[in-house]
A and B are shown apart, each in its own frame.
Chain A
């Protein structure tokens, strides 16, 4: 596969190639067990948007028990409790990670939000630090910019507030991890996910990484 022409920047066709390779690798992993950490990976060809869906992991942060204590009647009433548990198991909250190529910075940008039938995870800084960012990453994330390195903005396609990692430093990060190496678009994308996704719960599972390498070599 042809290497990325002008790293750390990615062209639109290169981004498309990388996303397609990731979707193919995901689809090639037939074993549902192996796929379960990411529920789905799709490419929206009209928007050139990669969408990764994952169940919201239960984060044991300090605010975790807030919802259980929301109303006193829930604690006292066993039926309500069961119903709540039941609805949670049937419709677990899903984190959507949408990756788009920034038309200005020419690097991928990560937007993410939670869809939840009970609307428990609105796009607020409170949700972000209570559920999306692992406790060990909170300090380093808060320590950048006006509000931190991860903030809220309008999703470029959905045009409603979602979390995002501002791309103004992405090129630097990619440049630093690349050094003088040449990489294929899919390698670039996997490396980008590794660098940007970790703090917000998006990581590449090893099986997917291996499958992507395997498919790349064949091509």
Chain B
């Protein structure tokens, strides 16, 4: 197996141990055991919520609540079930990311040590007080998660090819295979369709689908959300300031090869998208570091290699930042 395929498979199989407890406000007993599970980094909490409902069903104060009322938090931060779990973990868990010792670009670090020694990430499950201002509410048919996923897949395709033709021309069967591959964790089914995206016929890869997730403290402009209008009074706490755990999502047009034919790396991209934080293309930022799949990204890692090996299932590099 070549290195690309090997990395792809390792990223696919990486998982995070979770320990999920039912919030006391929803729990009828004092000793409901927690739910222990390994969830793949590339998967979504949306798929877990119905299972949690089934597990905690007998402990619920109101057994009539549906799985769509379920939501999870970590230290009072409601977790977006449409973010991949790996991104949520890298953003909020506070776990130390693996250092990028190996700075040769061909070996972007993929964590291999997320084994039994990793302590479980302790999350709290709720079935009441849905934070509808912060989270999309799940639906029984999983249509919202499907819609959000497809939108991301389309946008990634548009960035890579400049047209979005590959997604639009997918057969109905292929679209279903892709989604089922994601849902059922079927690597072969997923990869067969995903390879069509990565190797579009008669086209070269143009732009890099990458999103950067900055904690609010790292972004001086992020507080600037309140309407400056004297006529319109905004309501709701989120308008007045920064909510717990909110992040600033940054994305832009990052060409895969720059005009000077210079190889695009994590460093060149961060310099373009976050010039205030990454003042040059090689030197590390002193206050924040990019994290992907639990490891600090080497700044000289090539973006094309990353796209082919370490994207999430929607085709994006979702990069979290940790404050140093």
Hey, which bits of chain A sit against chain B, CB under 8 A? 39-40, 42, 44, 46-47, 51, 53, 91, 94, 96, 103-106, 115-117, 119, 122-125, 145-147, 151-154, 156-161, 166, 168
Contacts and interface: CB of A to CB of B under 8 A. Distances in A.
Nearest to A105: B158
Nearest to A146: B147
Contacts of A40: 229, 231-232
9 contacts: A40-B229, A42-B228, A46-B221, A53-B231, A104-B159, A104-B251, A152-B144, A161-B134, A166-B154
B224 A46 contact: yes
A103 B144 contact: no
A39 B225 contact: no
Interface residues of B, number: 44
B295 to A, nearest CB: 25
A113 B155 CA distance: 22
Nearest to B158: A104
Nearest to B230: A40
B142 to A, nearest CB: 10
B158 A53 contact: no
B42 interface: no
B247 A94 contact: no
Contacts of B158: 104-105, 168
B154 A168 contact: yes
Contacts of B224: 44, 46-47
Interface string B144-157: 10111011001100
A105 B155 contact: yes
Contact of B235 (A42, A47, A116): A116
A105 B253 CA distance: 10
Contacts of B243: 160
Contacts of A152: 136, 144
A124 B137 CA distance: 7
B151 A42 contact: no
B257 to A, nearest CB: 18
B65 interface: no
Contacts of B180: none
Interface of B: 80, 132-137, 139, 143-144, 146-148, 150-151, 154-155, 158-159, 164, 207, 209, 221, 224-225, 227-229, 231-236, 238-239, 243, 246-249, 251-253
Given A40-B229, A160-B238, 5 more contacts: A42-B227, A44-B224, A122-B132, A145-B147, A158-B225
A51 B135 CA distance: 22
B253 A103 contact: yes
A145 B167 CA distance: 13
Contact of B232 (A39, A103, A106): A39
Contacts of B248: 159
A154 B144 CA distance: 12
Contacts of A125: 139
The 8 A-B pairs of least Cβ separation, nearest first, read A122-B132, A146-B147, A147-B147, A40-B231, A161-B136, A53-B232, A40-B229, A115-B235
B143 A147 contact: yes
Contacts of B135: 161
Contacts of B155: 104-105, 168
B225 A103 contact: no
B164 A168 contact: yes
Contacts of B144: 147, 151-152
Contact of B252 (A53, A103, A122, A166): A103
Contacts of B232: 39-40, 53, 94, 96
A40 B249 CA distance: 26
B251 A103 contact: yes
Contacts of B143: 146-147
A105 B234 CA distance: 29
A44 B251 contact: no
Nearest to B82: A154
Contact of A104 (B150, B238, B249, B253): B253
A198 to B, nearest CB: 22
Contacts of B225: 157-158
A94 B231 CA distance: 11
A137 B132 CA distance: 26
Contact of A160 (B133, B151, B229, B233): B133
B210 to A, nearest CB: 11
